[in-house]
Structures are given as structure tokens and as C-alpha cells.
A and B are shown apart, each in its own frame.
Chain A
């Protein structure tokens, strides 16, 4: 009896030691994690603060409505921000429908066998391929083989390819995380597979899909390498033809075929110029690029919030 008692006591002591050790380890990990986080955040904030200090005073109305110029104080980013916006629109219009459709097909329709396994592995791997590779692919395929030229359409196609894997993966994940009950309820009401996907699953997956799209778009807007590879231009002092016109048919898609430049390229060019004025303009461009990315993210968060509220 007394023997058993000590054994139990011994165990409790052991357990306490174990818990203590685990707690210590937790604490140690938390401290290391916090240090890493602080170092990373300080570096990031220092960088942002540095170019904010340089760039923000340079931003004024003229900076948005002027074309690039040889005179740093007159240089503006009109062609760059219009180019970036149009390229982003094209990218989204191409990547979102294709990416979501591919995700839905792989998750809901495709039979699970070795072919889909291979596709799945490939899609996941493609998400990690360096962007320059997409640029080289686009240069060979769109520019040289299909002879589409260095246009907004080609840039949109290239960046769409780049973010397609991200959208496919997040779409699948969003679909997978929908509670089984919703699916079962849909089928229980007599919906076929398409009706279930279109009316129940996609609406429920929208917040997740949206997040994936924005992550992809935020990556695409800052990409320089693939756009330079396809041969985007640096100095452009005109805008693409307007998408909306007064005469019939009121919309105009010629802008897709127009040469363009984008914000990261404009920045890259200015930063390598000798005059300090251009370096300041580059910092200002960086601030605006950052603001555009934050704006896109903010918009996504707002839409997601609206959708979530609407669903409840």
C-alpha cells in the first residue's frame, strides 16, 4: 500500500517537472519568436519610414498627372499608374475566372487518381517558381511565337499565369473548409453537382477565394522581373486609348494592344539615374505603390466583411 502511494507521488513529481520543462520551452520559444519578429518589423518599418521621409514630400497632384520627364522636378507617374491599373485589371479578368474554375474542377469534379495527384503537386510547385521563369515563358510564347508584342494584354497574360497557382490553391482550400453540412443540405434538397457548386459552395467559399485573389494581385502589382523580361518600356509619355468612348460601341479594347509601363519599372529606372531628384521621385513612386497595395488589401477586407455579414 505504502509502496503504491510513493509510486504515485513519484509520478506526480515527474509530471510537474515535465510540465515545468514544457513551460520553460514554451517561454524560450516565445522569446526567440518575439526577437525574430521585432528584428523583422524594425527592419521593415525602418525601410518604409526611410522612403516615406524621402518620398512623401514629393507627392502632389502634378506627380499623378505628369508624364516622366528628363527634369526630375517635372517628372510624374501618369503613364506608370495608368499602366499598372490596366495591367492589374487584365490580370484579374484572366486569372480569377480560370483559377476559380480550375480549383472547382479539381476539388469537386475530378476523380481522385494519379493524374489529379500529379496536377495537384505541379500546381503547388508552380506557386513557388521564381517570377522571372514566367517572364521567359511569356517572352518565348506570347511575344516571339504568337507575336503579340509588348502590350498590356501580354503583361496581363504573364501576370495571370504567375498568380494562377495561388488562386487555384486557395480556391481549393476554401472549398475544402466549407462544412460538410452545407454540401449535404444542398444534395438533400435535390440539387445536382453544378447547382450545389454554383448556389451553395461558391458563395460560401467567396471570402477565401477573395483572400487568395488579393494575395496574388498584391504579388503581381510589385513584379518587375517578368515585365522587364517581356520587354516593357521605360519611357512612355502617352496613355493607352480610353476604354470608354462616346461613339458606338462605347467600349474600346484597343488599350489591350497598347505599349505600357508600370510603377516598379518606373521606380527601377529612376533609382539608377544620377540626379538626386529622380531618387526622390522613385521613393515617392514606392510610397504610392505601397498605398495601392494597401488599398487593394483594404478593399478585399471590406468586401469579405460585407459578405460574411450577409451570410449570417
Chain B
């Protein structure tokens, strides 16, 4: 019996020793599931090149990620929208300074069923007519959207209302962030939307470009006209990059804590790897997103090295071109 007690004591002693001395080189990242594939790809390649440094990536969502980030629990936060004013206040309260770094563009894509032969392009005004809150229960037929459309029921699919994707789409189309009709099939899982639209001739829906590019045989993308007389632009990597796909292309970000960047050399090393234009152009494209132009990565790398703090945004801004991203002054 006393032998057992002795072993138990020894084990608990080792346990405390073990927990006390655990200190590894870990870079903690959490945040948006939209940005996750990019950070995952970066972390994968970075760890291959730098043995001994460990990167962990979570998907707590943009909001959940900022909560942890502003408590100082993570080094980097993935975000599919700019930091909100309330989150800025949180960070300020805990003395967490951050560097805002756009890392890629995402093109929200409006999709219909491939058997739909009446829609090729739509204007922002038509989309607004469909999605605004007043349309609820009223706009239920394709004919109501445009006279030349057939008399068929209109079935809507869209990103879940807690997502940054929904926030941006409503801001860009309806004109007011987080405001739309409520009677559509919403899902946080974009694959559910792909299934829904692929199986319904009368469907119309929206989600990120990556999901369309993987399912081009099951879905048909709709070209977007910013105004009635402007050119209809199909969603594509190129159109998002050169800024012609408007207003549905949006920048996505990472936020780096200044404290981590300065106290942990491995964090700085990871960011320099992330913003290296060769890595970024290759890996961002590989996971289905739109890389920024090369010179943009240079500018943001410089911004990181100079530890330029603060954000260039107040909530989602619509139709930001890469040039604007580069020029907008930062507010701390």
C-alpha cells in the first residue's frame, strides 16, 4: 500500500515539474474559417522550412478570434472583415496593439443552377431587389426580378448570418451591413449551399469563389453589372485582382500583435514568410483565393517591419481596390 502511495506522489511530482517547464516555440493563430485555408497553407510550408517552430491554427470565427486576440491569448488573428470599433476598444483596454495586414482577395460569387438558361448577368440593383429586407415574402418569382425572366419560383440560398461573408454581401448589395430578407436557406457550411443550388433549377445563391471553382460542373456563375450601363464581369481570380469585379470582391486580413512580433522572433519570421510575394502568390492561389499584386505584398511587409499600428477601416468598406488598400491611412 505504501508503495502505491509513493508511486502516486512521484507521479504527481513529475506532473507538476512537467507542466512548469513546458515552454515551446509556438505561434498561436485563431480566427476566420474563410482565411483558415491560407494560414494553414502558410503554416504547413513554414514549418517544413523551419523545423522546431510550431504553428497552431484555429477556426473560432472572425469575432471569436478577435476576442482571444484582444485578451492576448493569440499572436495572430485571421479575419474575413476589418476589425470592428468594439473590438478595437477591447484590444485597447488590454493594451494589445496590432498591425493590420491584408493578405488576399476573396470574390463573392452569385450562383445559379447550370440548367438555368435565362440568367447570364445581373445588375446590383436587381440583386438588391431580391435580397433587401422589404423583398421578404414578396419577391418570390423570377419574373418579378426582370420581365424577360420566366414565370418560375425563386429559391434563395446564402451564407449563414453570423459569417463575415453575409456581412459583406449585404453591405455590398443591400447597402446596409447585416440586413437582408430572412426567408432564404442559410448555412454556415458552403457545401450545403452548393448541394442546394446544384439540385434546384430555380435557385440563386452566393458564397466564396473557392467553392465555385471546385464545383464548376454543378454550378453556373452569374456575371455582375455594377450599374445598368457598365460591363458585366464574370467572377474570376483575374477580375478580382485587377479590381473590375465590383462590388463583390473583398480583402481578407491577418492581424498581428505587436507584443508577439517583438517578443517572439518566430512570429516575425512567420509573418515575413507569409508576406513574401513568392510564397503568397503561389499558396494563396493554390487554396482558391485571389493573391494581391506583388507590389502590395511589398508594401504590407514594409508596414509590418515598421510596426505600423492600427486599422484603415471602420467596418466593411465596399469596393475597395488594392490601390486604395495601399493608400488609406491607418487609425490606431
Contact = CB atoms under 8 A, between A and B. Distances in A.
Contacts, number: 90
**Most chain B beta-carbon neighbours within 10 Å: one of A68, A231, A259, A274:** A274
A2 to B, nearest CB: 78
A269 interface: yes
A70 B44 contact: yes
Given A234-B36, A253-B18, A257-B18, A274 B59 contact: no
Interface string A80-123: 00000000000000000000000000000000000000000000
Contact of B60 (A231, A236, A271): A231
A232 interface: yes
A257 B19 CA distance: 6
A275 interface: yes
A274 B210 contact: yes
B239 interface: no
A273 B180 CA distance: 26
B10 to A, nearest CB: 8
A275 B215 CA distance: 8
Nearest to A257: B22
A259 B189 CA distance: 26
Contacts of A233: 30, 56-58
Interface string B1-42: 000000000000011011101101010101001001101110
Contacts of B191: 271-272, 274, 279
Contacts of A249: 14
B18 to A, nearest CB: 3
B19 A256 contact: yes
Given A232-B58, A236-B56, A273 B18 contact: no
Contacts of A231: 30, 58, 60, 68
A237 B215 CA distance: 28
B228 interface: no
Contact of A234 (B44, B58, B286): B58
A67 to B, nearest CB: 8
Given A234-B58, A276-B214, A70 B287 contact: yes
Given A70-B40, A231-B58, A259-B26, A274 B21 contact: no
A226 to B, nearest CB: 14
A116 B54 CA distance: 49
A70 B283 contact: yes
A235 interface: yes
Contacts of B36: 234-235, 269
A252 B211 contact: no
A154 to B, nearest CB: 12
Interface in B41-83: 41, 43-44, 47, 54-60, 68
Given A70-B44, A274-B211, A274-B288, A269 B59 contact: yes
B57 A258 contact: no
A70 B55 contact: no
Contacts of B15: 253, 256
Nearest to B209: A274
Given A70-B37, A237-B47, A254 B57 contact: no
A302 interface: no
Nearest to B43: A235
Contacts of B24: 258
A162 to B, nearest CB: 21
B200 to A, nearest CB: 19
Contacts of A23: none
A258 B18 CA distance: 11
Nearest to B212: A274
B59 A234 contact: yes
A281 B206 CA distance: 26
B318 interface: no
B40 A68 contact: yes
B18 A256 contact: yes
Interface string B270-285: 0000000000000100
A251 interface: yes
A254 B215 CA distance: 44
A29 interface: no
Contacts of B139: none
Given A231-B68, A254-B22, A275 B214 contact: yes
A244 B302 CA distance: 45
B177 interface: no
A195 interface: no
A12 interface: no
A69 interface: yes
A272 B41 contact: no
A153 B16 CA distance: 12
Interface in B164-183: none
B265 to A, nearest CB: 19
Interface in A204-240: 231-238
A272 B187 CA distance: 11
A235 B55 CA distance: 8
Contacts of A276: 214
Contacts of B26: 259
Contacts of B211: 274
Interface of A: 67-70, 153, 231-238, 241, 249, 251-254, 256-259, 269, 271-276, 279
Given A233-B30, A252-B14, A274-B191, 8 more contacts: A231-B30, A233-B56, A235-B57, A237-B43, A237-B44, A257-B22, A259-B56, A272-B33
Interface of B: 14-15, 17-19, 21-22, 24, 26, 28, 30, 33, 36-37, 39-41, 43-44, 47, 54-60, 68, 188-191, 208, 210-211, 213-215, 283, 286-288
12 contacts: A231-B68, A232-B58, A235-B55, A235-B57, A237-B55, A249-B14, A253-B19, A256-B19, A271-B189, A274-B211, A274-B213, A276-B214
